[in-house]
Chains A and B, each alone.
Chain A
Amino acid sequence: GAVVSQHPSRVICKSGTSVKIECRSLDFQATTMFWYRQFPKQSLMLMATSNEGSKATYEQGVEKDKFLINHASLTLSTLTVTSAHPEDSSFYICSARDPGTGWDTIYFGEGSWLTVV
Chain B
Amino acid sequence: AQKITQTQPGMFVQEKEAVTLDCTYDTSDQSYGLFWYKQPSSGEMIFLIYQGSYDEQNATEGRYSLNFQKARKSANLVISASQLGDSAMYFCAMNTDKLIFGTGTRLQVFP
Contacts and interface: CB of A to CB of B under 8 A. Distances in A.
Interface of A: 34, 36, 38, 42-46, 49, 91, 93, 95, 102-104, 106-108, 110-111, 113
Given A93-B45, A95-B99, A110-B44, A43 B91 contact: yes
B72 interface: no
B101 A44 contact: yes
A21 to B, nearest CB: 13
Given A43-B104, A95-B99, A106-B47, 19 more contacts: A42-B104, A43-B101, A43-B103, A44-B91, A46-B99, A46-B100, A49-B98, A91-B43, A93-B45, A95-B45, A103-B33, A103-B52, A103-B95, A104-B35, A104-B52, A106-B95, A106-B99, A108-B44, A111-B45
A34 B33 CA distance: 16
Interface in B57-111: 91, 95, 98-104
Contacts of B95: 103, 106
Contacts of B45: 44, 93, 95, 108, 111
A108 B102 CA distance: 17
A106 to B, nearest CB: 6
